[in-house]
Amino acid sequence: GVANVVVIGGGAGGATAARYIAKDGGDRVRVTLIEPSRAYYTCFFSNLYLGGLREFDSLGHSYGTLASMGVNVVHDWAVGVDRDAKTVSLAGGASLPYDRLVISPGIDFKEGAIPGWDLSAQNAMPHAYRAGSQTELLKAQVMAMREGGTFAIIAPPNPYRCPPGPYERVSMVAHTLREINPTAKILIVDPKESYSKQALFEDGWQAHYPGMIERIGPDFGANIVSVDPAAMTIDIDGQVEQVDVCNVIPAQMAGRIVHEAGLTEGDWAPVNPADMSSRVDPNVFILGDAANQGDMPKSAFAANSQAKVCANAVLGALTGSRVFPARYSNTCWSLIDTEDGVKVGATYEPTEEKIASVDSFVSEQGESPEVRAETYRESLGWYDAITEDMFG
Ligand code: FAD
């Protein structure tokens, strides 16, 4: 008979898994993708839009190609998973049976992570950490900032989606402010001692945006922070800062549906490193940010890489096709200024315990402008290739 695969979430992990399972499963597998949005706006490259280097529309991708290649795209929310009956229930009331379930819902924010902030405050203090209207709102606020005003960013604690993301954002906001508001300041309030590619970012900020960017770390109370969105203030361990734009990126956890399905241990979902199947239920696979993915960072590249391993395993189980040993890879590019691109990456293999890094690389300090421009061009090629690999 025909086997049913249901995929929850049409982002980096879910769209890739749906596409590969439908493409290679032929008429032996029926794939249904559940995704509430009609268009997916990528978080990746959204900082370049904040920097004025990318059009907003270029970040949007629709599901039409997936539908025309045979994926049944249902625009709805998955609200429950009955793992005994093997069904997924939707907000619209339907119930879908599955033989294998793939879940890639991304992140949700932990409630109460930044006292004073919740979803009702996200217009006054946007997160822009799920892309779309939030990204546009943050850009509009940067463009409208008063002369010499302060842009503040409250960075999240580890682990979170896109480790270099907040710092690439600082770079791109600085790039915009240097042009339209050169006396403006950027304040980073960071609960972490250190962060991804820190030396590269700090060198770049000093070279391109001298005197504009200040960072407060945990030594100065940046791990004890609350906000008042009505007053536009940040309280840093008793010291109150008045700011003009406040980008709050709260602590994160796996998307709610994974918790509701009983697949988490703490904030994230434990998975088998060999194939991304849940350690709790072998018929369910969890991809991307929601998974506890060992040494891999929470990135679109990682989610896409995991989705291909998962698709191979799902098809092996349902059609008897050949299953290859898992191998994962990731690269995270960041843009510091026009054509000043840096990167960090690794390849990974499964061990019993986790997805383990086997070799890694990172851009060096003091590289020539030619090398940095080449790194940036590489990232442009990557964006086009990976969005085609996800959405067709
Ligand atoms: P997502 O891509 O977020 O997809 C989840 C989807 O699931 C969403 O479309 C959502 O609507 C849907 N969903 C959620 N719950 C439900 C439900 N109950 N029912 C149905 N659907 C549901 N990564 C890189 O590789 N390179 C970069 O340069 C990069 N830059 C970034 C910059 C920023 C500013 C940010 C915020 C992130 C960046 N990332 C980057 C990280 C990347 O965006 C994420 O890691 C990636 O999107 C994770 O994929 P995912 O499939 O886990 O989740």
Confidence class for position 1, pLDDT limits 50, 70, 90: confident
Tell me the per-residue pLDDT of 128-161, one tens digit each, with 9 for 90 and over.
999 999 999 999 999 999 999 999 999 999 999 9
d(CA 29, CA 22): 7
CA 344/CA 163 separation, integer angstroms:
11
- Cross-strand bridge partners of residue 286: 103
SS3 247: strand
Region of residue 114 (phi > 0: left; psi between -120 and 50: alpha; otherwise: beta): beta
Residue 21 scores a pLDDT above 90 = yes
Q: What are the CA-CA distances from residue 139 to residues 77, 302, 313, 334, 345 (Å)?
A: 28, 27, 41, 18, 29
Ligand 1: nearest atom to the Cα of 34: 20
Using the mean position of ligand 1's atoms as its centre, give its distance from the Cα of residue 161 in Å. 8
> What DSSP string describes 105-149?
--EEEPTTSSTT--GGGTTTS----S-SHHHHHHHHHHHTPPTT-
Q: Which residues line ligand 1 (CB under 6 A)?
A: 8-14, 34-37, 40, 43-44, 46-47, 77-78, 104-106, 129, 161-162, 165, 169, 255, 257, 287-290, 298-301, 303, 332-333
CA nearest ligand 1 atom 2, residue: 11
What is the C-alpha to C-alpha distance for residues 40 and 43, in angstroms, rounded to an integer? 9
Burial class (CB in 10 A: 0-12, 13-18, 19+), 340: buried
pLDDT tens-place string over residues 302-344: 999 999 999 999 999 999 999 999 999 999 999 999 999 999 9
User: What spacing in Å lies between the alpha carbon of 129 and ligand 1's midpoint?
Assistant: 9
Nearest CA-CA partner of 152 in 119, 117, 120, 179: 117
Segment 364-387, tens digit of pLDDT: 999 999 999 999 999 999 999 999
Find residue 233's DSSP bridge partners.
Answer: 228, 242
Is a pLDDT exceeding 90 seen at residue 247?
A: yes
Note the pLDDT tens digit of each residue in 76-132: 999 999 999 999 999 999 999 999 999 999 999 999 999 999 999 999 999 999 999
Which of 62, 292, 299, 308 for a ligand 1 pocket mutation test, highest count of atoms within 8 Å of Cβ?
299
Task: Pick from 138, 161, 248 the residue to mutate for probing ligand 1's pocket: most ligand atoms within 8 Å of its CB.
Answer: 161
| CB 257 within 8 Å of CB 105 | yes
Question: Strand pairing partners for 80?
Answer: 89
Query: Which pLDDT score, from 0 to 100, does residue 337 have?
Result: 98
Rounded Cα distance, 177 and 375, in Å: 24
Ligand 1: atom nearest CA of 291 is 52
Query: CB burial class (10 A; 0-12, 13-18, 19+) of residue 40?
Result: buried
* Structure token digits, residue 79: 């609200």
CB 192 within 8 A of CB 158: yes
Please give the Cα distance from 362 to 360 (Å, whole number).
Answer: 7
User: 212 C-alpha to center of ligand 1: Å?
Assistant: 30
Residue 235 in 3-state DSSP?
strand
For ligand 1, atom 46: residue with the closest CA: 300
- Cβ within 8 Å of residue 60, ≥6 positions away: 39, 40, 41
Taking the C-alpha atoms of residue 48 and residue 316, their distance in angstroms, rounded to an integer, is 39
Cα–Cα distance measured from residue 315 to residue 29, given in angstroms and rounded to the nearest whole number: 8
End-to-end CA distance of the chain: 27
d(CA 172, ligand 1 centre) in Å: 20
Name the residue with tokens 């849940």: 278
Which H/E stretch holds residue 213?
Answer: strand 213-216
Residues contacting 10, CB < 8 A, separation 6+: 18, 33, 34, 35, 37, 40, 63, 66, 73
CA of 238 to the centre of ligand 1 (A): 34
Dist. CA 256 → ligand 1 center (Å)? 14
d(CA 269, CA 286): 7
Write the residue with the smallest CA distance to atom 12 of ligand 1. 9
Structure tokens at 211: 């005197």
Q: Tell me the DSSP string of 283-343.
A: TEEE-GGGEE-TT--B-HHHHHHHHHHHHHHHHHHHH----PPP-EEEEEEEEEETTEEEE
pLDDT digits (tens, 9 = 90+) for 194-237: 999 999 999 999 999 999 999 999 999 999 999 999 999 999 99
Burial (CB count <10 Å: 0-12, 13-18, 19+), residue 77 = middle
Which pLDDT value is given to residue 175? 98
